[in-house]
Chain A
Amino acid sequence: DSGVTQTPKHLITATGQRVTLRCSPRSGDLSVYWYQQSLDQGLQFLIQYYNGEERAKGNILERFSAQQFPDLHSELNLSSLELGDSALYFCASSGSGQGAVGYTFGSGTRLTVV
């Protein structure tokens, strides 16, 4: 157990729908990062939150949004889903000042859009 918890592990939904993926960071970690891994692409950075504030944005679609709550858990909201959104979505957390060196990945959420 890495200490980073992602739920649900699997999600199957139809095109056009909206889903929410949840991530609880490792205890004490203030930063949460979201990554998408499609079959034909490597891991792509989506967005970072630090202590409730958006810190950096990567290749995140406008249909996607995220937030980090006061208890530091984060949610990634995916709307108007398309077949191409089917992917593994990973969350990672790191401690204050650690950046990528302190990354711990969650086990991921596999999203299948049918």
Chain B
Amino acid sequence: GQNIDQPTEMTATEGAIVQINCTYQTSGFNGLFWYQQHAGEAPTFLSYNVLDGLEEKGRFSSFLSRSKGYSYLLLKELQMKDSASYLCAATNDYKLSFGAGTTVTVRA
């Protein structure tokens, strides 16, 4: 079966850093995705980790530890437009198993 856990909500101040943790237990794990989703819209791709370690892409970084079944998404220099739901998803190659999402609220 698939079990993806992430916090429900997080709040941070504009310009700050927020780290969203995700733990997973899945069969046939191939990699870990992070998506951003604004209310009522489609998920948009942020990052994909296959190997252990940190992947940095501008203000967003993602980390994966396969042995611990753990990932995090780091959002730096938060902007108001970063207020959204962030979805952690594990893949077994063809399908994605999503966590329930973490709603991040950025306050001025």
Alpha-carbon distance between A112 and B48 when the two chains are bound, in angstroms: 33
Alpha-carbon distance between A90 and B40 when the two chains are bound, in angstroms: 11
Closest to B41 in A: A107
Encode B31-54 as 1/0 by CB contact (under 8 A) with A: 101000000111111001000000
Give the residue of B40, B93, B97 whose beta carbon is less than 8 angstroms from that of A110. B40
Say yes or no: B42 contacts A105, CB within 8 Å. Answer: yes
Encode B91-106 as 1/0 by CB contact (under 8 A) with A: 1011111111100000
Question: For A90, what are the chain B residues with a Cβ–Cβ distance below 8 Å?
Answer: 42-43
Interface size range of chain B in the complex: 20 to 34
Closest to B42 in A: A105
Say yes or no: B42 contacts A43, CB within 8 Å. Answer: no
CB contacts under 8 Å to A, within B69-95, are 87, 89, 91, 93-95
Say yes or no: A100 contacts B91, CB within 8 Å. Answer: yes
Encode A71-88 as 1/0 by CB contact (under 8 A) with B: 000000000000000001
Binding site for B on A (CB under 8 A): 2, 31, 33, 35, 41-45, 48, 55-56, 58, 88, 90, 99-101, 103, 105-108, 110
